[in-house]
Structure 1
Amino acid sequence: MAEFGRRSTLQPFPDPYHNRSHLPMPSTIKKPSHAGRMSMAGPALRGPLPMAPPGTNPRHSMMRSQNMNPLLQSASKPHMGRTPLQSSTRRGSIWIGGGQGSVPSGSQTMLKDSRPLRDKPYQSKMRQDVVTWLHSNGCDVAPQILQAITGKDFRMVFQTLINIIDPTWPFNPDQRFEEQFLPPLRALRYPYVGQLDVKWLVTPSAMHTWPPLLAMLHWLSELGRARLHYLESKDITLQDPSLVPDEFGDMNHHQALALEYYMEAYEVFLQGMDAFPEQDRALEERYAQKDQQVVADLEQRQDELKQILEELQTLDEAPAPLEALKEQSQSLRHDKAKFEEILRRGEARRQQLIDHVEHEKAELNYAVANLERLKAELSRLEDIVRAQNLSPEEVIRMNTEHETLSRDLENIKQKIAETNQIVVKLEVSLTRKVSDAEEALDQYTNLLSKLGLFPPLPPPLEEIDLTLDLNSAASNPQNLLSGADIRRVVKPTLSRVVETKRTERADVESERIKVDDELDQLNLECENIEEEVLEVANKTNGINDQADELREAAQQEALVSNAEASRLERELAQARTAAMANGVGVKSRLQGLQIAYREQIDKVNRLRDETVRAIIKNSSDIVTFKEEVSKQLKHLRDFAEAN
């Protein structure tokens, strides 16, 4: 706010009451209002730069701080820079006032107001808006107060509008109003403050002074409305901690929590404490609450991932289901063939039952026709009897015969009923026997399926069909069972199959016995070969021991020969020394010693050659024996695999 005369470049704030106003809005209305406490030290005092004394270092910075306020000085010095714990000083306003920038700039002086201030309807509208705004804020003023306003009323209205916008603005009742008029307007950045003159406050209702002053009051009321709308909008730029949701990510929400933390920490700091554990804990809990849903979601996803990994491990460890599916497919194919055979039999039986029902219907129709014919005959006979003129004796005789015939008829009916009962019982028994026969045929068919005796049969029985069908609706007993003859075809065929299977089983059993004998022989041969291998191994070990003994003896003889040669060399050296010392018999003794030395060397070489030849011979025998054993074992393995 150092440049009070600069015009705001921000767009006007939208009118919450949808009133058409051409007032430009100040730039402060777009900024979030911070409820933080201003520094009690006040602005830094700017004084003249002190000159460095002679002899000091000229490389010191010339831009050192010129803050002369003792409250902002070092806290290490006594009685300097200490913030008082309790202060009765009234908190200053956040608006910049005082004599700073009291002279308007040239740009504000040249700025021209484009509003129709001389228009009567526009003035009436501005007066109505100002009065309405004052009434809405609890200020009881007369509606006609702005018609012919006095200096006292203008001061009251002006201070009321300023206090609505900033309740902490320090109006001094003992100070002249002319001195307190322009600073709040400059602080609020009223764009046309350069066109106002404090001399107008003496007679504010004058014709040439009232339109600009009324426009200024209207601008303050519109600014208050915009400020109220902004505060009630719950916008995130307000940085109100109570408006921060549980989950947030906007920078304004972070700044709101930071501002609350700084305010509470500063209050604790003013009480003389440098640590803020409560504020830190509250801020950590608030951010923990923000991340609670994310952490819960993360844990849930981790659990799901763990379950998926367990399922994947289970699927990886489980065997491939292809073999089980193949077996199931084969079983289903077998069941399908069986069910198709059962369906074929059921269809054949259904057709037989349909034919039987048709036959029974035909017989029933025939019986009904015969009954009608008998009834007609009975009616004819009754008419004939009534037409005849019979005597009483004949009537009695006929009645007697009728009674006799009736009794005979009753007896016959009773016998017929008994016969029907017997027939019903026989039918029930027949049905049961037919069911038993069908079950027996089903078992027979299942056995054929299990034994693989469905046609075609293996040669030489490929032309024989062992399947049987039961036709319970056949009238001829010979046609009850359809298929091959049981006595002539089925039983002999089954007997041949049984004999064939027995023969095959006997052959298999004989083959098994033969294979068992061969295996026993092979096991016996293996045991013999193992014994021979053990004997050969023992012989080999003995030969190796002998070779080791020969090697040790040769080494001992070589050591003895070497010792003897060393002794002879020493004696030769002594002899040479003695010969050189005495000069007597040197050559003869030297020759004798040389001959003895050569003999010892020849003996050592001979023993070494014999030892080497013996070792080579034993090694070649061992290699030959191992090759022979390997050939025998390979031949035995090939023979066992071939059989």
Structure 2
Amino acid sequence: MSGSGHHSSRRSTLASRPADLRDSRSSTIGGTGGDGGFMGRTPQTTKNMPSSVRRNSVFASTGRSRASMAPGMYTNLAFRDPRPIRDKGFQSDCMRNVNEFLVSARYPAPISSKTLVSPTAKEFQSIFRFLIDTLVEQGTGWSKKFEDDALMILKDLKYPGMDTISKTAFTAPGAPQSWFGMLGMLNWLVELCKAHENWNDGHCISDPILSAPHLLPLDHPHLEDRLLWDFASRTYDQWFDGGAEEFPEAEHELELMYDRMAMTAVRESDKLEATFTKRNLELQQLHVQEPPLKKFEDEYLQLMEDKTKFIAFIELNKQKAEKTRQAILKIRDAISGQNQDLTGQRLELSSIETAVAAQNLTPDEVNRMNHERESLSRGLDDLRTKIVEASQMAYDQEMLVTKSMDRFETLLADYTASCHQIGLLTRSADLTGQLDYKIEVDLGVEDLEDLRTSGIHMRSTVWQGLQNLRERYRQELIDLSDNRIALEDYCDRLGQQVEGQTEEVRTLEVKLKMINDQAELAQNKLNTENTVTNKTIFKLENDVTAMMAATQQGVLVSQSQLESTRIAYTELRHKATILHDSLVAQIGSHIDMIIKAKEHSANSLRSIKTLAETQ
């Protein structure tokens, strides 16, 4: 191509083949497989396609260097080919793969046994152009410098082995030092063509952008946009190709999808309503019941009060334990003193026995002493018996005292606990009447006067104070009972007043019900009138909608005709440009021929003239 064709800007860089993919346009645009553009276009990017569906050639026809098909799309990073392109086995696989694809794709030129072993430059260019036409577009224009176009195409396609090819390799592709790289490049183009053939195969892809809308999950974030785009693209194809005005199949599929979405939304709504009802019942129960926080606050106050009582009780027990510890220390000191006295008496007895043994006594003195000893022994036995009886009596009295002390300790603990429970030990002096109800008695003291004084204090002071408190509380109980009776009487009077007001409320409710019935009748009448009015409005709206639809349909028809006229005008202009270029070329060639003929005639005349002059 020449003329103004190379000056027009290209609308697509790596366009798909319109002749092969015209029937599957709905799938490539978004019907079943989304947009399959090589530059990563999504179905949404095709919404802004230009009005003309025809695209200019990818390559310019002039001899000057051609701009990149995808300028600025990728960085200029160098990639190294990771394939073992120098391996003989890999080269054999590449030859077999390229040969099978060329045969299956109906490559028009013959393929000999040396075509893929050491091809000529013409054979290689033919194979390369066939693969590019299969991949990009039929009838692609090529400039005079094939190697520049080929390198630019490979750069645009991001061929990973650009370091293995050069312009020299394109000039002599069959050379041993360059053919392994060129063969790997052809095999890569073949794999790219195979991938392009399966670009919209639903069994080979899993991209949601390329999947059919009815295969997407209902919670897909852009499902409605996909449905709208799929419906618009399919109906546009049917309208553009066959001039269809109604699309029942597409509308039915769209209705099925929206029915599925509606059913899912209804189920989700029912689930949310059930959850809302459950939570609402729980909330009502919480409102009816006593607030849990109030209950916990009461328990906290009770526990804090018990804590205060227990702390006071623990302090009292600590004081008692300290007094008991002091008494035990005194008893231990007394036992130590008695042990020392017993040791001294034993030493004195030993010295007396030694002195008696050292004396020289007569038999009469011995008999007399024996008699006295027997008398003393009998006296000692009597004393021992009396001591045993006294010890037994003392033990019995001690046990009785111990039991009494234990009983007193138990009663004292009960008394202290009761005082803590009613608050006698923790209240202020104003409430207890300046009387200390705390009882502190040390039963281990040796002085019984202290115990007697404590007993007199308990009988005269504490007991009398407790009696006074009982009388005061009894009087308060009587006063509270009188107040309760007065409150019950007041509540009865209030109940009678409430019953009277309840009767009045019932009468007012009957009147209110009558008024509500009248209001409902008026409301029903108004609703009937509104229904008639709404039907009239709906009918008018339908008429307006029909008129707008007819107007829009006319606008669409006019736009379609305008678009068709524009396309025809573009084609005619393109053909005129081509015809103009061809005419200019033919006229130029004819002028050249005329000039050459004129020069030839002039030369012939000069030669004839020279020949005539010589003769």
Normalised by the size of structure 2, how large is the TM-score? 0.40
**Quick check: which one's helix share is greater?**
2
Q: Taking CA–CA contacts closer than 8 Å with sequence separation of 6 or more, which of the two structures ends up with the larger relative contact order?
A: 2
Pair member with larger Rg:
1
